[in-house]
Chain A
Amino acid sequence: EVQLLESGGGLVQPGGSLRLSCAASQFTFSSYAMGWVRQAPGKGLQWVSSLSNSGYSTYYTESVKGRFTISRDNSKNTLYLQMNSLRAEDTAVYYCAKSGIAFGGTINYFDCWGQGTLVTVSS
């Protein structure tokens, strides 16, 4: 069974940084694009960023461009999200998600999701 396990969330002050990790298992990680989707408390889903299977192609939602960086280490089966200059509006549960098609487009649907990690930006 595919597993995605996020870590790295927590409480951070405005302007601070966090790095989220997502450890993947039970599938060929290097064959699939991956992404991050967030959900603010009581709100809907918002796509944040996606990364191609090779790591060469990246996409971001406008509000995080220049502040967040998505990356992956295919040798460690791990996805990352480096978050800098954090704002109160970045407070959310962050989900790691696997694209549904091997060697498919970087922007894709997600067929497997982690349980999420909570990021709280507050002074």
Chain B
Amino acid sequence: EIVLTQSPGTLSLSPGERGTLSCRASQSVSSNYLAWYQQKPGQAPRLLIYGASSRAPGIPDRFSGSGSGTDFTLTISRLEPEDFAVYYCQQYVSSPATFGQGTKVEIK
């Protein structure tokens, strides 16, 4: 089973600042089969990024994904008020699919 570890647990930032979220895998995520999701309270998760760096349709270009192997990053270039939420990474290389424990981006 591939274990995903996200850091930091909580990121306190102000609107307009840049956010950098990390997702580290316990073994290589081949073919960059890694996705990122955003979840707001009381809502279902929303797909942001798949294939480590491809933005899902309708996702603003301030969201970008990068990385390969075991280290992946989600970057939010300039935080908008609606971006304060919890973010999860997920690997889909093999069963069991696994999620990271989440990073909460909160208003500073």
Q: Which residues of A contact B (CB under 8 A)?
A: 35, 37, 44-47, 50, 59-62, 95, 100, 105-116
With a cutoff of 8 Å between Cβ atoms, the chain A residues found around residue B40 in the complex are none
Interface residues of B in 77-108 (CB under 8 A from A): 88, 90, 92-102
Asked if B45 and A111 sit within 8 Å, CB to CB, the answer is no
**Quick check: A107 and B44 within 8 Å, CB to CB?**
no
CA distance A100 to B55 in the complex (A): 12
Residues of A within 8 Å of B100, CB to CB, are 44
Is A45 within 8 A of B94, CB to CB?
no
Within B33-58, the residues touching A (CB, 8 Å) are: 33, 35, 37, 39, 43-47, 50, 56
Interchain CB contact under 8 A, A113 and B44? yes
Q: Which of B56, B97, B101 has the most CB of A within 10 A?
A: B97
B44, B45, B96, B102: the one contacting A59 at CB < 8 Å is B96
Q: In the complex, how many angstroms separate the beta carbon of B18 from the nearest chain A beta carbon? A: 24
B47 adjacent to A109 (CB under 8 Å) = yes
Residues from chain A with a CB closer than 8 A to the CB of B96 are 47, 59-62
Q: Flag if A113 contacts B46 (CB, 8 Å).
A: yes
A109-B50 contact in complex given A44-B99, A45-B88, A47-B96, C-beta closer than 8 Å: yes
Whether the Cβ atoms of A100 and B44 lie closer than 8 Å is no
What are 13 residue pairs bridging A and B, where the CB atoms are less than 8 Å apart in the complex?
A44-B88, A44-B100, A45-B90, A46-B99, A50-B95, A59-B97, A95-B45, A100-B56, A109-B47, A109-B50, A110-B35, A110-B90, A113-B46
